[in-house]
Structure formats: C-alpha cells, structure tokens
Amino acid sequence: MSNSAESEALVRSDDPEHPANHICTLCAKFYNLGWVTGTGGGTSIRHGDKIYIAPSGVQKELMKPTDMFVMDFESREYVRKPQMHKPSACTPLFYAAFKRGAGCCIHTHSQWAVLVTLLVERDFGPDACFEIEQIEQIKGIPKGRGKVGNLGYYDRLRIPIIDNTAHEEDLTESLEAAMEKYPDAYAVLVRRHGIYVWGDNVHKAKTQCESIDYILQLAVEMKKLGLPWCAK
C-alpha cells in the first residue's frame, strides 16, 4: 500500500472529473433518483491502471473523495484503503466489467429493476432474460462489444437476469457467466436486488444506466396496461 502522502494524492484534485470527485457527484445524483438509498448500490471508475471504488456502508449522497478505495488493476491490491470504511462487496463484480474493457460500472438498487426481474420470472420463467423492442429509448444502448453504434428502434434489447445471493461478492461467477452468454449486453439484472450497468467511459455508463432505468420503468407500466414488451 502507498504511504500516506501518496495515498492522499490519489484522491485529491481540483478537477471535477477526477474519479474520486466524479464518483461522489454521480452517487449524489443517483441518490436523488432513488438508486442508492440506505447506503445501497455503488459506482466504480477505472482510471489508467487504477480502479476507484465507492466504499461500503456509507451514505452515497454524503461521500467525500477521501472515502474512496483505490485498487491497482493488474495486481488487484489496494493502493489506498481508508481505515474507517469497509471495501465494497461489489468490487469483484465491478472488476468483471473492467476486464471486459469498461471504464465505469454502476450498481443501483432501482425499484424498477427489481420489479422487472419479478415480472420476467412470473411470466417467462426463472431462466428468461428481459427483452423489449420498438421503444425509442433503446437507441441509448450500444449494439455490443466491438460493434459500431447503438441499437435501433426495431432492434431488441436483451438484459440477462441472475439470481441474488446472500453475499454480494458471491454474485461474481453468475455475473461473469451472464456476460459470456450475452456478450453484447451492457447490463445484468439481479433478481430481487437491482442492476449492474457498465460503459466504455463514465459518460456512456451514466447515459446507458439512465436509458435502461427509463426502459425498465416503462416496462413495469406497460405490464399494468397489459401491453406486450415484444411483438409476437
């Protein structure tokens, strides 16, 4: 682990887009959206060979840059580990996204995400993924890894769903399996829990998370009205 001066230098910057500052700003916004209430959820940003991670058990709207954990990407060793906080149990799941080239990963406890996982289980079975098409906001989601551009209006958005576990880190294996099964997905829903969304950079991860949450809320409302998610 770095000495105290080096450790502090990792999280102190006047640049609002420095990862330590950016995570605090994002989580405050996500709190206002109801995504990270009660200390739940989190955000992580890869910056060069470092990974910045929001701590566990801290009210996300009140976080400070000095609360951040910093991990070396290659060694997976912490180069900054605040003694007053616990590392996020989401860390291995964030890392799974970074291994696939992501620059930012967001985990929310969105109510719409939770409700959609229950609707899919009820209507299509426990092994089904969430699918929806012909919704304008789908254009906010990339086509997939290595593909140019975003999905179109007539494309079908597919988001895999994995089962929840008693401990968050135990989700890692099933999350990685879902990533392999659905290589074009930029999100994974966790049944009765929430969602993980990642993007090539912070801007893309944020806009994709917003677009997906809009779609999930719309999907819940469509079910109430008896409207199908996909054309038969």
Tens of pLDDT, residue by residue over 191-219, are 999 999 999 999 999 999 999 999 999 99
140 & 215 share domain = yes
Beta bridge partners of 70: 52, 80
Could you confirm whether 131 is annotated as catalytic? no
Q: Find out whether 138 and 132 touch, Cβ atoms under 8 Å.
A: yes
Residue 97 domain-assigned (yes or no): no
CB distance 130 to 189 below 8 Å: yes
pTM listed for this prediction = 0.96
Q: Is residue 83 part of a domain?
A: yes
pLDDT at 8: 87
**Residues in the chain, pLDDT under 70:** 1-3
**Do 113 and 36 lie in a common domain?**
no
- So what's the pLDDT on residue 91? 98
CA pair distance 71, 73, nearest whole angstrom? 6
85 in a labelled binding site: no
Closest CA to 30 of 225, 206, 230, 223: 206
Q: Would 172 be classed as within a structural domain?
A: yes
Residues 133 and 204 in one domain: yes
CA 58 remoteness from chain centre: 17
Q: Are residues 136 and 211 in the same domain?
A: yes
Q: How many domains is the chain built from?
A: 2
Return phi, psi of residue 144, to 5°: 150, 175
Measuring CA to CA, which residue among 205, 203, 204, 197 is closest to residue 96?
197
Q: Tell me, yes or no, whether 80 and 143 share the same domain.
A: no
Report pLDDT for 232.
77
pLDDT of residue 30: 98
Residues 118 and 227 in one domain: yes
**pLDDT digits 0-9 by tens, 151-189:** 999 999 999 999 999 999 999 999 999 999 999 999 999
Please tell me which residue in 6, 8, 17, 136 is annotated as part of the active site.
136
User: Is 129 a known ligand-binding residue?
Assistant: no
Residue 153 burial (CB count, 10 A): 11
Residue 44: strand pairing partners: 53, 105
* Residue 102 falls inside a structural domain: no
| 109 marked as binding residue | yes
Residues 162, 190 contacting (CB under 8 angstroms): yes
Residues 51 and 141 in one domain: no
| Under 8 Å between Cβ of 65 and 159 | no
In-domain check, residue 138: yes
Look up the CATH number of the domain holding residue 219. 3.40.225.10
- Does the annotation flag 193 for ligand binding? yes
Q: Give residue 156's domain range.
A: 108-232
Q: Cα(first)–Cα(last) distance of the chain, in Å? A: 56
Q: Read off the tokens for 223.
A: 């079910």
